[in-house]
Amino acid sequence: MLVHRLLGFGFESNVYLIEDERNAVVDTGTGFYTEQLLNEIGRYVEVKSIDYIILTHEHFDHCGGAADLKNTTGAEICMHEMAARTLEEGEQWSAMFFDAVQKATEVERKLREGDKIILGEAELRILHTPGHSPGSICLYDEKSRTLFSGDVVFAGGGIGRTDFYGGDAEQLVKSIKRLVELNVENLYPGHGDFVMGEGKAHIKMAERMSMYLL
Ligand SMILES: [Zn+2]
């Protein structure tokens, strides 16, 4: 498994391209920069070789680009079942903050706690980790000790906001406690830097930060 971080500037979420026997993209950014994103993807793999677009949650800065990216790549959209409605019904509550429109599109694969997305060497286990949003997930590959943490925890001990629609501080604290139990070397959050080698220490910092929420 090879991971490349794409976009991630300004309001754009980080977009991770995972190269394996099957290729996946984790999050898509707002969609304002889809053309640039496709160019960046094209430096590593054929754009049409993307099999999955996995969305960590239903906020526009992560899934605004999903419909366009799917149309170009033909990839299958995977998202937690509690988040899927935002895409399928084109809910605008999150896009509104960006003065933008969430394009509606089908979520082919609705994820639940414990599901696995098998890419080859990498087997991404789905952890339902609500709190930042109801349909937030993290993706964990046990073999490589890699965690894609969405907006649940960030490098340096940052934690997701809970003041958006559906946010819940108590749930976020519980979700972070689950992540502390994992053996994480590589931590790939939804914004900012990623961490190689000592991911678990950053998650522990986040756990301490989260205590101030309660
Ligand atoms: Zn978010």
The Å distance, Cα 62 to ligand 1 centre, comes to 7
If you write DSSP's letter for every residue of 149-163 in order, what string do you get? EETTB-GGG-B----
Question: What is the arithmetic mean of pLDDT over 92-108?
Answer: 96
Say if residue 58's pLDDT is above 90.
yes
Output phi, psi for 97, to 5 deg.
-65, -20
pLDDT at position 11, please? 93
* Whether pLDDT at 116 is above 90: yes
CA distances from 25 to 97, 98, 177, 202 (A): 24, 22, 26, 23
User: What phi and psi, each to the nearest 5 degrees, are found at residue 72?
Assistant: -80, -40
Cα of 35 vs centre of ligand 1, distance in Å, is 22
Give the distance (Å) from ligand 1 centre to CA of residue 13: 8
Q: Average pLDDT in the 67-91 region? A: 97
160-186 pLDDT, tens digit each: 999 999 999 999 999 999 999 999 999
Q: What is the mean pLDDT of residues 85-93?
A: 96
CA distance linking residue 141 with residue 143, whole number of Å: 6
Domains in the chain (CATH in brackets) are 2-213 (3.60.15.10)
Which pLDDT belongs to residue 103? 96
Q: What is the mean pLDDT of residues 3-26?
A: 97
Q: How far is the CA of 41 from the centre of ligand 1 (A)?
A: 23
User: Is pLDDT of 197 > 90?
Assistant: yes
**Proportion of the chain above pLDDT 70, given as a percent:** 100
Q: Give dist(CA 109, CA 25) in Å, integer.
A: 14
Q: Is the pTM of this model over 0.95?
A: yes
- The whole-number average pLDDT for the span 32-38 is 97
Neighbours of ion ligand 1 (CB under 5 A): 59, 151
Average pLDDT for the chain: 97
Helices (H), 43-197: 60-63, 66-73, 84-88, 169-180
pLDDT at 214: 82
CB 171 within 8 A of CB 152: no
pLDDT for the residue 119: 98
Task: Over range 137-158, report the average pLDDT.
Answer: 98
CA of 80 relative to ligand 1 center, distance in Å: 14
Band of the pLDDT at 144, cuts 50, 70, 90? very high
| SS3 state at 196 | coil
112 Cα to the center of ligand 1, angstroms:
19
